[in-house]
Amino acid sequence: MNANESLVAKALDARENAFAPFSNFKVGAALELDDGKIYTGCNVENATYGLTVCAERVALWKAISEGARKFLRIAVASGSEHPATPCGACRQLLWEFCGDIEVILANPRGFRETHRLADLFPHPFDRSFL
């Protein structure tokens, strides 16, 4: 299994832990650090919707809370035929903390697509504006 497939497998496994009783749209993410360590996350929904947290943010915050600061790539797995890209809020946070990392989109049926975050988020707001 190559490195990308290993990361995707972790995202698919994390997807199984998603708490999505309202949308039934389960997402898993696996965020790889430059040293090879991987943090996973899944979406966690809330009845008020606005308090729902995406899989990408869960993985990122877990990593940040453990002191991680250098990221290599993230795999995001959803069940849709064409896997979902990170939402705008996740793109902003990924850009701010990870920079132009590789983003691998996947689903359980073998679909894989790779992008650079800069291609998904072409004109980000970051600390250079502050």
Question: Is 56 among the catalytic positions?
Answer: yes
Instruction: State the Cα–Cα distance between residues 47 and 123, nearest whole angstrom.
Output: 33
Set 5, 32, 45, 56: catalytic member: 56
* Residue 22 main-chain phi, psi, to 5 deg: -95, -45
CA atoms within 13 A on the CB side of 51: 3
Q: How many helices (H) and strands (E) does the chain have?
A: 4, 5
Residues 12 and 106 sit within 8 Å (Cβ to Cβ):
yes
CB-count exposure of residue 88 (10 Å: 0-12, 13-18, 19+): exposed
What's the token pair of residue 89? 């809020």
Catalytic residues: 56
